[in-house]
Structure 1
């Protein structure tokens, strides 16, 4: 696993997944471990803010509150919290819808449309302008890191396989490799039960098959 995902990438997985699950004790540990790998507070904060688009404001707000507690605890213990860079301000003539449409098209690999968005065009507008415009345009995190956080959150909760499938595909567009995505499954095995792992692996196998990635079922599994 270490050959495919570095320590910071692994930290992103656990932070996003436990935040999505709402497991505060495990999130507390994951936040401390992430900061120890060199993640800045602004990077961690950005992950937790982004997650509201996928798991809702309550999970995001609770996770941000836990981060505040972790920072306070670390300050009391004399441990270092590196703030990190702020996101670059948007230009005064910023057009969220136009930029978000462009970002979404680049991430997906084609323009996004379909019956669902014709049925509820406002959700298409919100996705393009706010998620892919306002959030994904912020340069505190790379798109690759944002997608790693997204698939982590989606894998941790149930009933969202369609979205997990889409974001596996987007992850490949950001140049996460098939090997790295299997390493992601191996990370899940470390701290999550069979239900989460088996489901996430099955969806990944389907995506890699559809995208014609010639990758063994699980190249990072331990050999007997």
Structure 2
């Protein structure tokens, strides 16, 4: 397992422990990892792991992925597309509040790099709507900050404390009702928020 967050690695091990044996862990960014050529993997699975990787580091990150993939190995990359609420919410917020150089990497960004690198891939797209009762503030706030921002949504963990960053984020949105009305309210359907998601599953075989 690889993640720049020790906490994330610990949580992942706890979740997977009944199903897989605990192996090596790499507490490092993907774009910074350097492994011996002998350390390769038959299967690499990346679940929504590229959002915070800057576009300038995408090629280097994918290079490292391919280096770690064994001969005849398979790599799966699941990432939200530009039309997904995952991506659009944060990007619209950043534009509205004039936060520069802040955006999430999308599936299209990854695919564009793969094309430039001449890497053959196959893509399956999944479209669905995440529906949440608009009056359930805890669930709405949790979804916005832990799913769309922190990308660590756990349905049974709604009481997880918000970080200082997210508290400031929430405070700004609440103070500026124009942003909420002009953006978030557009997703209300029959007393529910209906957030459209577009997720691409990219398959790369070496």
Q: TM-score, normalised by structure 1?
A: 0.34
Larger helix share, 1 or 2: 1
Larger strand share, 1 or 2: 2
Q: Which protein shows a greater Rg?
A: 2
